[in-house]
Structure 1
């Protein structure tokens, strides 16, 4: 009985091995020369840009116009200029006309007084009143000197022109202007190279 069992079991095992061998052979014959590994190619998709028109926007006409107003259609040329650094070189500053400002007064007359601002080195000036020469040549020294003027209503322009620069450039002087009561209404200095002018305006109210 036991031998019959093992004999039956052996037959089933042999039959299974035979079926497996036949299946493998058939599969190799079926797919052996035809099976290939295929790599998927990348999908390229063209992106189309569509212009947005009024009819494509699901908003009111008023809102659409408001949206368009935020779009800059034409950008003009950039004409911005970087501000130049203020000149600080005393020699270059002297080679230009100097504005000494505007002073207002109700006085009928004025006394203009000036002297050399540094040590006396031979500075000479020419003085104009309303473009007319009133002092053709003044040698500046350590003592105060000057002239009196009758003020006209409105603008009274006084120019000091440097005839030379003395022994030490530039032409330097300090000046004061007094009203008819002896009060100082302007006090300043000029530092100008030869040929340039320092100007102050006395405006009579």
Structure 2
């Protein structure tokens, strides 16, 4: 048993001495080799010479120039206002955006009921050939196409008291008023409103 104990002590001493030798050695790390590949620096960006091209803005369908709108003599009678007579001209009533699929247009004689008559166009096509304006609201419903929907009210006469006058209202498909106003135009002239379906 003494021999076994002696062997164990000797082997632990020798292992401990061997372990200490490893720890005593000085380890030197190998330095990395210098890379032969040089990093390329990208060239500095230079500003383009001259002015950049102007951006083409998408035309706003709500911005309508009445002079351009009424310039087509095949569709609109030329203005012929004489001194003191302001209603012998076409009247632009405005452009309005809506998300509605349909719109209801209502109108009536705005002043004295004197036999005023109108013709109604939608995108230059007749939808009401002759309408007598009276004191009660009349009207129609239209299906709106995406984009521009132009509604023209042409005065067929001026009744007994010039000019042709009417009050009108435009409603969306929920019954909310989009716009309401009046027109005052002479015979053969048109009052125009534009609805832009978004």
Would you call these one fold, judging by a TM-score over 0.5?
yes
Residues 51-200 of structure 1: matches in 2 within 5 Å? 92-200=85-193
Change (3 A) 1:91 1:125: farther
Question: Alpha carbon RMSD of aligned pairs, Å?
Answer: 1.6
Runs of 4 or more, structure 1, over 6 Å off, are none
Deviation at 1:92, TM superposition (A): 2.8
Change (3 A) 1:133 1:150: same
Unaligned runs of 5+ in 1: 1-87
Deviation at 1:93, TM superposition (A): 2.1
Q: TM-score, normalised by structure 1?
A: 0.56
Q: Provide the rounded CA distance (Å) in 2 between the counterparts of 1:90 and 1:143.
A: 33
Deviation at 1:119, TM superposition (A): 1.5
Q: Could you say which structure has the higher helix fraction?
A: 1
Q: Provide the rounded CA distance (Å) in 2 between the counterparts of 1:135 and 1:181.
A: 23
Q: TM-score, normalised by structure 2?
A: 0.58
> Once the two structures are superposed, what CA deviation does each residue of 1:4-58 show, in whole Å capped at 9, x if it has no partner?
xxxxxxxxxxxxxxxxxxxxxxxxxxxxxxxxxxxxxxxxxxxxxxxxxxxxxxx
Unaligned runs of 5+ in 2: 1-80
Larger Rg, first or second structure (1 or 2): 1
